[in-house]
Each structure stands twice: as structure tokens, then as C-alpha cells.
Amino acid sequence: MSQSPPADLPDAATAPPSAPAPRQRRKQARPHELLAAALTLFGEKGFAATRIEEVAALAGVSKGTLYLYYPSKEALLKAVIREHLGQLLDAGENLVATFDGPTSQLLSVLLHTWWDRVGNTPASAIHKIMLSEARNFPEIAAFYNDEVTRPAQRLLASCLQRGIDRGEFRALPVQPTAMNLLAPVIFLMLHKHSFGACSQSQQIVDPAAVIATQIDLVLHGLLLQGDSATTPVAPPAS
Amino acid sequence: MSQSPPADLPDAATAPPSAPAPRQRRKQARPHELLAAALTLFGEKGFAATRIEEVAALAGVSKGTLYLYYPSKEALLKAVIREHLGQLLDAGENLVATFDGPTSQLLSVLLHTWWDRVGNTPASAIHKIMLSEARNFPEIAAFYNDEVTRPAQRLLASCLQRGIDRGEFRALPVQPTAMNLLAPVIFLMLHKHSFGACSQSQQIVDPAAVIATQIDLVLHGLLLQGDSATTPVAPPAS
Amino acid sequence: MSQSPPADLPDAATAPPSAPAPRQRRKQARPHELLAAALTLFGEKGFAATRIEEVAALAGVSKGTLYLYYPSKEALLKAVIREHLGQLLDAGENLVATFDGPTSQLLSVLLHTWWDRVGNTPASAIHKIMLSEARNFPEIAAFYNDEVTRPAQRLLASCLQRGIDRGEFRALPVQPTAMNLLAPVIFLMLHKHSFGACSQSQQIVDPAAVIATQIDLVLHGLLLQGDSATTPVAPPAS
Amino acid sequence: MSQSPPADLPDAATAPPSAPAPRQRRKQARPHELLAAALTLFGEKGFAATRIEEVAALAGVSKGTLYLYYPSKEALLKAVIREHLGQLLDAGENLVATFDGPTSQLLSVLLHTWWDRVGNTPASAIHKIMLSEARNFPEIAAFYNDEVTRPAQRLLASCLQRGIDRGEFRALPVQPTAMNLLAPVIFLMLHKHSFGACSQSQQIVDPAAVIATQIDLVLHGLLLQGDSATTPVAPPAS
DNA sequence: CATGAATGAGACTTCATTCAT
DNA sequence: TATGAATGAAGTCTCATTCAT
């Protein structure tokens, strides 16, 4: 898809003379094209099973060219992750800070926005890659924890706290609750790049429905109103 | 070294048939030992990054011996998955059928039991392996869908339907809701074999707390009782 | 030459049963065969210009087999050098200690022996290899200095000192004189593996003649007897 | 960056022809700068282990520019050798022809001069390069033999013959004796570019002392005057 | 049954060489 | 001229698989 062949050279020619020559433009664009190709393939086949040459070919260059930009396969992986780290959270960062309505609505907007801007995007492959390779690249895993996981949890936790502070939410423990909010969202992302990509399972998971249901579910719960006598529920003796 | 001649076979023959001689027992146990070793390593390092020789070594045999039992690395992977497929669900299969109390409690018992018997078990690595390799081995993915994903969804869906039918639960759409129930449970399993195995992130996720909170959350929701005016929540225009 | 094909299997079959099986015998012989092949090719084409596969082929095995014995090309080089280090000196080590005749004769025997046992042997390629690669592998160079160069110098120096002490030789400075004795010997070795291997230059250098002349030269000098008035000779002002 | 337009060419044109403009001078100097850089690096790391780009960088130009002057790496090597071939001998060529004193002194002046003008010079790396690459590039080796080795031998041989003819020297065979005179000189050169460049071995070899001792040694020999009874020395039976 | 030596296809990486600018 | 981005052949090294013992 992003093979953008030499066909764009004419376009370049119409650019004002102060614009860089096509060769220059390519040089600038190369890293992103390579990272996009790598993201796609690492997400599809996994890091180990992806050949450098495939990445290069998908980016429309030769093997050697890739090495002009990234000194090793591992460096390429790191660059892919670094490139997309911000995007996983940027969308929601200041939404929480500026939002003014009821927290339930904030939560809803947050999750839907996230799916639109991230989950439904190639960047969503990052989580699958991380999951598969975390143990092979502990530094990257730590990096990811610091830059993505923890901030995401903090974002959701602050949102929950807001609801509790404003008297909208019950005072559930925010950390585990945040995890429960995050989990379906991550699940969708992972599913999209694994089973979801295998044709026959599309009907099993419908992202929009899952998210919409999640909002309803976590806000109102399963139980009918007034049926508060059901619990407490204790874990079974193992 | 293994020059112990066939002379010990007669000895073995004198042993009672219910307690096979060590050599026999070994021969019988080999496949399971190999599959256990493969499960561990495939889960830790991924399929492609695991060497056949490592699997053999972890099972205490030589490379050649592994090939006496499984004709290829891919066959080994398939055997690993097949070996553990049942275990992922067996625990809960007839619990639903025989359970007699309130559905909220059934749900709780189901999830806790599952974590005790599966999530907290080496078999939990299966899901990580599947996730990473689904697209590389579509037949395996289909197999997994048929044998695990769909039954699991059916199980949870039937449980939800039971609650609705009995007037305990609100009539949420069962498929997406089932997904939302499943997601945190899968999330915990995956986390355990990826980030969770990288030392510093243990505090971030506490499986027991997450599950307990999930039960509470999905049963009662976040909203304070009577605060039913908050919704409806519509997804934002993207 | 050392390709020793499977033709030696029959020979192995005639060996007493306590002898290792052919496969075992090969396993034991492999390292030496590989080192011999490597010595030959490194000497011929240089380290960098020799391909691992060529070494393996010359030893009669495949690329992969070489890596069962030596983990890298550099390790192979080090092993080659280590394998032949002793041989460069062993010949003369105790000759000096036990020799009983005039020192001039000791010197003569020493140099001729050395050429027979080392200079005229594949091991002589070691010095060419070292010379070419010393700066690329400083540890190896230091190793070589410690194990070969210094001992050789010490051997010659002690021989010279013996002559001086016994009143046979003039009291020339032993270190530089030792170098002058060593130089033609090393020169012959190097020549043999470089220009000497290029057909047309065989007549230029005749090892036996060079060594014989060297003995005569360093013992009696060029000057006619009684012509001691010629010197002193001062270096020219540069 | 190099956008300085052709406008400066007229400026260059106004410069006196004996002092070419910087650009012109540069253009003329390029080949020599490139050859000097190549000599240095080929001598340091060997031909195969030196990258074209390193040579270009050391000469202060880009890879592409080097190819404007030399069509291939091999051509560069040949040019390096050709460039320095004369220098190895020029110094002594007519010294022999014009020298008027005793031959012992001529010999001394010859060797010391040679060390000052060649051995102690970057050109000395040539011999190391040739030694390493002779067998990979037979034509170059032949070239070297014709242009350097044989003339050098002829030079020394004629010098020896002069001494014999004038009744100064004993009538040793001139060819092998010439080799023995040459060997320490070559040894010093080679050492300087291999082991000598590895820090700890500087004390082992002191060029000036080696040469001074050589003169003394080859002129007077080791034996005390009158000790002519020592020989004949026969090579040992191998 | 079990072993582990041997193989060779295939992956990563380097670098001499080309060529559009 | 000069540049340096791009190429792809070639080299090092890995590892799934085979097979003689």
C-alpha cells in the first residue's frame, strides 16, 4: 500500500524550487516508510519470523538501504516501538484534563476515541509485538512499561478518581478497576492482529459492539436495580 | 554411557503391570515431558526464537530423540496446543450445567476457578503462543477458535443468558458482554507471560485483585445506585 | 591433500574393537584437519580473503561442521595460531641446553634444524599470518610475542652469550645481533609463503644457500682477514 | 553545500599559472592524497579489511570521488604500489655508481640511507602489503619482483662484487649474501608495520641498533680473529 | 530407542560499485 | 567534479533436520 512508487516523482517536480529534490524527499521519507513496513510485518508475522528483506521490499527499497537507516534488526524493532509510543496515548492525554461533563461520558468518549485513533490504526500492532517480544527484549519492555502501560493506567485511574471524587462513581479500588477498563480495549487490539486476521473469526468479535457494551456494563453492571442482595461473592476454595 | 544392555528388560518384565519399569515409564512420559518443555519455551521466547535443541535439553533428552516423537518443529507446536486445549475449558464445562445458586455467584466461581486451574498454570502460555503465531499457522488458529474461543464464549454466553432468563441480569447483548467478561481474564494470562515476567512490573497488575474487582464491577457497575440519569452515552463523532 | 576421504573407513574396520568407531575417530581428528586447512588457506590468501566455507571444504566437511568446533572465524584463527605456536620453537629448545661443541656449530645446527623442522613446514605460514593480522588482533599479537618472538630471541641471545662467555665470539650486543640472526630465517619463511609461491621467483631465493651463507657470513664476516682498518663506519647525516 | 557556482573559475584563471588556484591544486593533489591514505590503511589493516570508504574519508573526500580516480579497489592497490615502487630504490641507485670509498663504508651508507629514506617512511608499508597480497595478485607480485626485488638484489650484489673485486671482501656467493644483507632491513620494515605497532613490543626491536649491529656483524663476523679453525659446519642430517 | 555429528538452506549484515543529483 | 543514497552479491553464522552408530 505505501509502496509509493517512482510515480510520485512528477508530483515532486511540481513543487516549488525551494522544496527538496525528489532524492532528498525520499531520504527524509525513508525512515517512516521503513518503520511503517516493519510495523506491518512484525505485527503480522512476529519479529523473528519477519525477514529484513521483506521489510525492505514492502518499503520499496533494497535490503542494503534499510541498513543505511537502522544498523540492525533489533534497532529497527526499537525504532518501530519508539515511533509509535506516543500515539498510543496522545489522543486521550488532555481530554481528561479539559473535559467538563459527567465522568461516565468522559469514560465513554475516552474509549471510543482511543479505538478510533489508535485501536483501529496500524499502531495497534505495537501491543502484539511487545507482548510477543517483551521477554526477549527486557529493556524494550521496561521502556514500554514506562512510556505506555503506566501512563495509560494513570490516565484511567485519574478518570476513575474524578468520578469518585465528584460522587458519580462507587469507590472501587482504582488500580484494578483501571485494569478492567483497559483489558477489553487491549484485547480488541490484540485480537485484531491475531485471530481477527484469520478470516472466519470476524463475526466472533465486533469491536464497536464490545466497546459500547463495555461502557454500559461497567457503568450499570449486570444486576437489575435493587438486586443488591446477591453478593458478597467469595472466591471458591481452590 | 547408556550401555546398560537389554539385560534389564527381563527385570522390568517381572514388575507388576500397573507399575511399569522406569524405562517404560520414561518412554510413556516422554511426549508429555517434551510438550511441557516446549510449552515453557514457546511461551517464554516465542516459537521462532526457540530452538529445538533447547526444548530437548529442557526435557532431558537429545535433539534426535525429540524427532522420534514429533516429525517437525511445527508438529511439535501443534501437539503442544492440542495437549492443552481441553484444559483451558474443562474446569468450567459442567460447572454451569450443575450449578444451582444465583448466576452472579456462578460467574464469580467460574472466573476464580478458571484462574486457579488454568490462568495460574503453565497452560496459560498457550494463549500467548496462539496470539503470536495465529497468523503464521492459520489452521492452528482455526483449530483454536473451534476448540477454545468459541466454546469459551458459548460457556460465558450461556451463563449470561441464564442470569437474564432467571431475571437476575439486565438483558445486555450476550456476545459482546461475554467478550468483556473474557477480556480481563485473557489479559491477565497474557500479561503473566510477557510484561509480568519482566521484574519491575509485578506491582502494576495483581491478578487476584483484578478478578475480584471485575466481579464487583460487572455485577454492580460503577455508577452509584439511582444515578441512572447519566446515560445514554453516545460514541463521539470521529 | 589431507582430504582423507571415506576411503579410510575400511582401515578403521580392521582396527581392534577397542579402537573408537570411525565416526568417533573422525570427531577426534576433525579439529586438527580443520586447523591444518585453515593454516593452509590463511597462509595462502590471508585471513580476511579466506572464506570459512573454503576451509571446511579443504578439510572435507561442510560449513556447519566447522562451527561445531570453532564458534567463529576469529576463534579459528586463534586456534590455528595456538596449535602451531609450540612447534615454532620446540625443535631448538633443549638443543642449546645439551649441546656440547663449539658455539659456532651450535648456531649452525640451530638454524639448519629450524629450517628443516619448521621453516620447511606448513607451520611456517603462521608468521605470515601473524604479520598480516597482528594489528587487527592485538591480543593475538601479544600472545605471539610472549610465546614465540621473545622466547626465540632469548634462545638466540643465550646462544650468543654462550659464545661470548666461552671466548669464541666477539662481545657484540646480544639483542640486536640475535635479531640479525633471526631476520634471514624469518625472511625465508615469509618469502616462501608470498613471492616464493609465485612461480618465477624461485631462482631468486634459495633457502639452503641463504642459510649456509648466513652461517659463514655471521661467523667470519665479509672482510678479509687483517683488513680490520676499514671501519669505523658512521651512519650518514640524514 | 558545494553550491559554490562556476563563478570562481574566472578568479582561478587570473591566478599565475605557476600557483594554481586551490581548487586546481586540489584536483592535482587528489590522486596522491588518495594513494597516501590507501597506503596507510592497507598497511594498517590489510587490503581486504580496508574499506574503500575509509580510504576516501582519510583522504577527505567521498566514496564516489575515489572512483573518479581509480576504477576499482584493486586498481587502487596497484596504483599505491606503482606510486611507491621507485622510492624503495631511488635513494641508493646512483650511490653505488658514484661512491668512491671503501666498499664496507658504501655498504654502511647504503643501509643507513635506505632506512632513513625508506624504512622510516610510510612507503615501508608497501612491503607488508605486497607480502600479504602477493599470492592474491600474482601480476602485482611479478611487477614487484621486476621493479623492486630484483633491482634491490642487483644493487646489493653489485656492491658485494665491488668489494670482492677490489680485494676487500671474501669471495662469498653474492646472491645469497645479498639476501642476508637485505633480510634484516626488510624484517625491520615489516616489524614496524605489524608487531612494532602493537605497543608492548617496542623495546624488543630497535631499528638503529639492529642496522648498526648488522654492519659490524656482516663485516667482521662473530668469531674472534684467528679463530678460523671452528668450521666447516655441516647441516645436520634431518 | 537414543544419540549427537553432520548437513545445508536461509538469515543477518557488509561493502564494492553505480548513478541521479 | 563531487556527492552519498542505493544496490545486491557475497560472506558469516544459525539451526531444523537427517542418519550412522
Contacting partners of chain B (3+ CB pairs under 8 A):
A
Q: Chain B, 103-122: which have a CB under 8 Å from a chain A CB?
A: 104-105, 108-109, 112-113, 116-117
Task: Judge whether residue A235 has pLDDT over 80.
Answer: no
- B21 pLDDT tier (thresholds 50, 70, 90): low
Task: Judge whether residue A78 has pLDDT over 90.
Answer: yes
* Interval A165-201: pLDDT, tens: 999 999 999 999 999 999 999 999 999 999 888 866 5
Apex CA D80: angle with CA D78 and CA D85, to 5°?
95
Q: Specify the nucleotide whose C1' lies closest to residue B75 (CA).
A: F16
Q: How much is the pLDDT for D210? A: 92
Task: Judge whether residue B61 has pLDDT over 60.
Answer: yes
- B116 pLDDT tier (thresholds 50, 70, 90): confident
Q: How much is the pLDDT for D41? A: 97
Q: Which one of C179, C191, C203, C210 makes the best mutation probe of the D interface by having the most chain D beta carbons within 10 Å?
A: C179
Q: How much is the pLDDT for D33? A: 95
Q: What is the pLDDT along chain D (238 residues), one digit of tens a residue?
A: 444 444 444 444 444 455 555 555 566 778 999 999 999 999 999 999 999 999 999 999 999 999 999 999 999 999 999 998 877 777 677 788 889 999 999 999 999 988 888 898 999 999 999 999 999 999 889 888 888 888 888 999 999 999 999 999 999 999 999 999 999 999 999 999 998 888 665 567 888 899 999 999 999 988 875 544 444 444 444 4
Q: How much is the pLDDT for A14? A: 44
Q: How much is the pLDDT for A238? A: 43
Q: How far is the CA of A47 from the C1' of E12 (A)?
A: 13
Task: Judge whether residue B23 has pLDDT over 80.
Answer: no
- B148 pLDDT tier (thresholds 50, 70, 90): confident
* Interval C209-237: pLDDT, tens: 999 999 999 999 888 755 444 444 444 44
**Would you call C131 and D134 a contact, using CB atoms and an 8 Å cutoff?**
no
Highest mean pLDDT (candidates A93-97, C50-54, C148-152): C50-54
**Would you call B131 and A132 a contact, using CB atoms and an 8 Å cutoff?**
yes
* Interval A7-18: pLDDT, tens: 443 444 444 445
Q: How much is the pLDDT for C237? A: 47
Q: How much is the pLDDT for B3? A: 42
For residue C182, give the H/E element and its range. helix C174-193
SS3 B44: helix
Tell me which DSSP letter residue B48 carries: T
* Pairwise pLDDT comparison (A96 vs C208), residue with the higher score: C208
Measure CB to CB from residue B219 to each of A141, A201, A221 and give the nearest one: A221
Q: How much is the pLDDT for B37? A: 97
Minimal CA–CA distance to B112: which of B183, B234, B212, B11?
A: B212
CA D22 → CA B2, D31, D65, D131, distances in Å?
Answer: 81, 15, 17, 38
Contacting partners of chain C (3+ CB pairs under 8 A):
D
- B196 pLDDT tier (thresholds 50, 70, 90): confident
CA B129 → CA A50, A192, B59, C28, D109, distances in Å?
Answer: 16, 16, 19, 42, 80
Rounded percentage of chain C residues whose pLDDT exceeds 70? 81
- B93 pLDDT tier (thresholds 50, 70, 90): confident
- A92 pLDDT tier (thresholds 50, 70, 90): confident
Maximum CA extent, chain B: 83
Apex CA C49: angle with CA C43 and CA C55, to 5°?
65
Q: Measure the CA–CA gap between B193 and B18, rounded to whole angstroms.
A: 38
Chains B and A touch (3+ CB pairs under 8 A): yes
**Would you call A228 and B223 a contact, using CB atoms and an 8 Å cutoff?**
no
Measure CB to CB from residue C213 to each of D176, D197, D212 and give the nearest one: D176
- A3 pLDDT tier (thresholds 50, 70, 90): very low
Please give, one letter per residue, the 3-state secondary structure of A17-31. CCCCCHHHHHHHHHH
In DSSP terms, A169 is beta-bridged to B223
Give the residue-averaged pLDDT of A122-150. 91
* Interval C177-199: pLDDT, tens: 999 999 999 999 999 999 888 86
Give the residue-averaged pLDDT of C194-208. 77
| B43, B55 contact by CB (below 8 A) | no
Measured between CB atoms, does A19 come within 8 Å of chain B? no
Grid cell for residue A106: 468522559
| B146, A204 contact by CB (below 8 A) | no
Measured between CB atoms, does C190 come within 8 Å of chain D? yes
Give the residue-averaged pLDDT of B160-171. 93
Look over chain A and give the mean of its residue pLDDT values, rounded to a whole number: 83
Q: Chain D residue with minimal CA distance to C209? A: D176
Report which residue is nearest nucleotide E17 when distances run from CA to C1'. Answer: D72
Least confident interval from A36-50, C92-106, D84-98: D84-98
Tell me how close the Cα of B9 comes to any Cα of chain A, in angstroms.
42
Q: Specify the nucleotide whose C1' lies closest to residue C67 (CA).
A: F13
* Interval C14-53: pLDDT, tens: 444 455 555 666 778 889 999 999 999 999 999 999 999 9
Tell me how close the Cα of B118 comes to any Cα of chain A, in angstroms.
12
Measured between CB atoms, does A167 come within 8 Å of chain B? yes
Task: Judge whether residue B132 has pLDDT over 60.
Answer: yes
Q: Specify the nucleotide whose C1' lies closest to residue C22 (CA).
A: F21
Q: How much is the pLDDT for B143? A: 86
Cβ contacts from A onto B, under 8 A: 283
- B203 pLDDT tier (thresholds 50, 70, 90): low
Residue C93, C-beta contacts closer than 8 angstroms, at least 6 positions apart:
C155
Tell me which DSSP letter residue B7 carries: T
Q: How far is the CA of A8 from the C1' of F13 (A)?
A: 40
Q: Which one of A104, A126, A180, A200 makes the best mutation probe of the B interface by having the most chain B beta carbons within 10 Å?
A: A180
Q: Which one of B135, B139, B177, B188 makes the best mutation probe of the A interface by having the most chain A beta carbons within 10 Å?
A: B135
Q: How much is the pLDDT for C199? A: 67
* Interval A104-115: pLDDT, tens: 999 999 999 888
**Would you call A177 and B49 a contact, using CB atoms and an 8 Å cutoff?**
no
Q: How much is the pLDDT for D20? A: 53
Measure CB to CB from residue A46 to each of B46, B102, B204 and give the nearest one: B46
Q: How much is the pLDDT for D88? A: 75
Task: Judge whether residue B96 has pLDDT over 60.
Answer: yes
Tell me how close the Cα of A68 comes to any Cα of chain B, in angstroms.
26
Give the residue-averaged pLDDT of C132-158. 90
Q: How much is the pLDDT for A39? A: 97
Task: Judge whether residue A209 has pLDDT over 70.
Answer: yes
| D198, C137 contact by CB (below 8 A) | no
Residue D16, exposed/middle/buried by CB under 10 A (0-12, 13-18, 19+)?
exposed
